[in-house]
Amino acid sequence: MNNKYFVTTPIYYISGKPHIGHLYTTAAADILSRYHKMMGYTTLFTTGSDENSQKVVNAAEDAGMEIKQFVDSEAQKWTEYFFTFNVKFDRFIRTTDKDHVKVVEDVVSKIYDLGYIYKGNYEGWYCVDCESFWTDKEVEDGLCPECKRKITRISEENYFFKLSAFQDKLLDFYKNNPKAIEPTSRYNEVVSMIQQGLPDVSISRKSQGWGITFPFDKNHAIWVWFDALINYLTVSGYLDDAEKFEKLWPADCHLMSKDIIRFHCVIWPAMLMALGLKPAKKVFVHGWWLTDGEKMSKSKGNVINPKDVVLDLSQKTGIDEALAADIVRWFLFRETSFGEDAVFSMERLMDRYNFDLANDLGNLINRVSVMTYKFFKGFIPEGNYISGDIESFVNEQIATFNESMENYRFKDSIEAIWNIIRRCNKLIEEYKPWELEKNDETAKLKDLIFTLLDEIRLIAIMIKPFMPKFSEIVVNGFNQEINNDLSIRKLNPGELIQFPKVIFPRVKKEKKKTKEAGKNSIKKEEKAIEYCSIDDFVKFDFRVASILEAKKHPDADRLLILQVQVGTTTKQIVAGIAKYYSPEELIGKKVVIVNNLKPVVLRGEKSEGMVMCASHKKKLCVTSPEDIEMTCGAKVK
């Protein structure tokens, strides 16, 4: 069956606190699930909590709660946490769920009956935090090789899983399925791990009253990893829904980071092979979010809580928390390639917000909305696609978007969306709608606005897996049913559009709060800027700037007050161009300014530079870089 997509995340240790790393995997699964749903697939997306470990017992004790009460309340927090980020899973599986316990007992009995589980003596180490067994060779100074915490040496009678029996089968499987683990570097790592030999693994601990016990020996609890991996069978109807299982198995993608690939790429497929089932089609291993060069994790105390980021972003921008959560999840995939490690920075998030969302995307919607109201009273005009390469360009971007989504290259998918956004902004510059209106070129104007609105529809669909809340806002603004059709010209003319006035308010770069600090930073700026007189031409600092806001001067008909972005700073320029440009026309334009002209006050408004214009007789126009994608802040020389 081709039209199904079954994606999973690891089930998280219930005693941990969710952080960016957990959100990353879960949001990625949500993105994949939403995308495949959009493409007409039947999807199953599951996440959940790993609850049967010893450390849960310790954590409940620390919290002064009954274990069951503790896991119930923590599971509630995890699900609410994911809801905050607009994650729409089909099941949040808990390993204490009754159906899961039944499946684990069934699977363990089957593997035992098949002769792949046997009783033996275990001599070695166990790390309760990582829930991992370690050999003498692997342990140095009594510390866990993974988390570096003190671990205990144990000597007990245990059950073992005959992993050694699967070495050749696993090697064969990976040889025949070179895409079963991605990126390739992880595939190579796993293959070499298997080639080095696979000792049998201990899969039990003496029962301490918590966890699932062996159906045939109640004195032993099943090792949490053996129990946890089986969750993927539980969620797909393995025991209780043969039809569902038949349709969904094997999983299309298990997502995770590199810390747990041995379990998922060696032990888990061997367990499935023992049962006569196929391993997952793919394990995709994404990078780590790091702090100070180390994996972000609760045990290291270096985690970033994405909820704090949402609050911060919401405060800085004034947007509501649901949309801010959307932006955080988008940023995680916008910023870095999915397979690579990354470092989170609030500053980068704010830059991306300003450039990509407020400037590019927000501006486009705002400009097109203003023009639709100005020229067509807010109704979508009946028009054709504007001539030129726009149609083929957009189709190319959609193809890249799809191809990248299918290959887990989310950053590239987002880039394809932004290529359309930037192209649309450029179209406005090229076709100069205000001039079309002035020259009574109504048909062309209709074509342009219709094209731009249809592009916004496509953008809203493509961005939906990443920013479902934002997509909903835009889709609602069209006042008509928008399905997931990624072909062009699917907008019905004649409907009234109603987009919010400003979706992503622009944020000024944070200035130091205290008076003293304020003074210092002004001084610093003054030092850096070398003011020069108008005669001393060569000393002028010409820069490309992007016009963020424009309004009429309240006291002078001739003047417009512009907020422009130059590099990472925003400044105000008062320009005598009101006779030639309406404020709306200027928003989003890239212009050349004199950046180091000594600030002056013009009719009560500070002006920190000058917009370069060409003028001849009664004509005037601003000068713009020929390439609209030229970075603002770029030196003009």
Binding site for ligand MSP (CB under 6 A): 10-13, 16, 21-22, 24-25, 50, 228-229, 231, 256-257, 259-260, 288-289, 295-297
Residue of closest CB approach to ligand MSP: 21
Could you tell me the smallest distance in angstroms from the CB atom of residue 297 to ligand MSP? 6
Closest to ligand MSP by CB, 231 or 359: 231
In a 10 Å sphere around its CB, with 0-12 CB exposed, 13-18 middle and 19+ buried, how is residue 629 labelled?
exposed
Closest to ligand MSP by CB, 332 or 611: 332
Could you tell me the smallest distance in angstroms from the CB atom of residue 19 to ligand MSP? 7
Query: How far is it, in rounded angstroms, from Cα 15 to Cα 299?
Result: 11
Could you tell me the smallest distance in angstroms from the CB atom of residue 116 to ligand MSP? 19
Instruction: Return the number of other C-beta atoms located less than 10 Å from residue 469's C-beta.
Output: 18
User: Coil, strand or helix: which one is 118?
Assistant: strand
Closest to ligand MSP by CB, 6 or 470: 6
Could you tell me the smallest distance in angstroms from the CB atom of residue 227 to ligand MSP? 9
User: Coil, strand or helix: which one is 217?
Assistant: strand
Query: How far is it, in rounded angstroms, from Cα 591 to Cα 593?
Result: 6
Could you tell me the smallest distance in angstroms from the CB atom of residue 62 to ligand MSP? 18
Closest to ligand MSP by CB, 12 or 45: 12
Q: Which residues contact 313 (CB under 8 A, 6 or more apart)?
A: 319, 324, 327, 328, 349, 350, 353
Tokens of 532: 């020069």
Q: Distance between terminal CA atoms of the chain?
A: 60
Distance of CA 404 to the CA centre of its chain: 14
Alpha-helical runs (H) found in 39-149: 54-63, 67-84, 98-113
- The answer to whether 467 and 326 are in contact (CB under 8 A) is yes
What DSSP designation does 626 have?
A: S
Composition of the chain by helix, strand, coil, percent to 5: 45, 20, 35
On the CB side of 175, CA atoms within 13 Å amount to: 8
Tell me the backbone φ, ψ of residue 36, rounded to 5 degrees: -65, -35
Could you tell me the smallest distance in angstroms from the CB atom of residue 173 to ligand MSP? 19
Closest to ligand MSP by CB, 111 or 380: 111
Please report which helix (H) or strand (E) contains residue 204, including its range.
strand 204-206
Q: How far is CA 293 from CA 289, 290, 297, 300, 344, in A?
A: 9, 6, 12, 12, 11
Could you tell me the smallest distance in angstroms from the CB atom of residue 288 to ligand MSP? 4
Tell me the backbone φ, ψ of residue 62, rounded to 5 degrees: -60, -35
Closest to ligand MSP by CB, 22 or 220: 22
- The answer to whether 560 and 613 are in contact (CB under 8 A) is no
Query: How far is it, in rounded angstroms, from Cα 81 to Cα 87?
Result: 9
Closest to ligand MSP by CB, 230 or 562: 230
Could you tell me the smallest distance in angstroms from the CB atom of residue 294 to ligand MSP? 9
In a 10 Å sphere around its CB, with 0-12 CB exposed, 13-18 middle and 19+ buried, how is residue 567 labelled?
middle
Please report which helix (H) or strand (E) contains residue 413, including its range.
helix 410-431
Closest to ligand MSP by CB, 53 or 595: 53
What is the chain's Cα-based Rg?
30
Could you tell me the smallest distance in angstroms from the CB atom of residue 147 to ligand MSP? 10
- The answer to whether 230 and 104 are in contact (CB under 8 A) is yes
Could you tell me the smallest distance in angstroms from the CB atom of residue 11 to ligand MSP? 5
Closest to ligand MSP by CB, 256 or 445: 256
Could you tell me the smallest distance in angstroms from the CB atom of residue 232 to ligand MSP? 7
Could you tell me the smallest distance in angstroms from the CB atom of residue 50 to ligand MSP? 3
Query: How far is it, in rounded angstroms, from Cα 35 to Cα 465?
Result: 6
Closest to ligand MSP by CB, 13 or 376: 13
Closest to ligand MSP by CB, 151 or 228: 228
Closest to ligand MSP by CB, 342 or 428: 342
Alpha-helical runs (H) found in 114-198: 167-176, 184-195
Could you tell me the smallest distance in angstroms from the CB atom of residue 344 to ligand MSP? 10
Closest to ligand MSP by CB, 297 or 451: 297
- The answer to whether 114 and 166 are in contact (CB under 8 A) is no
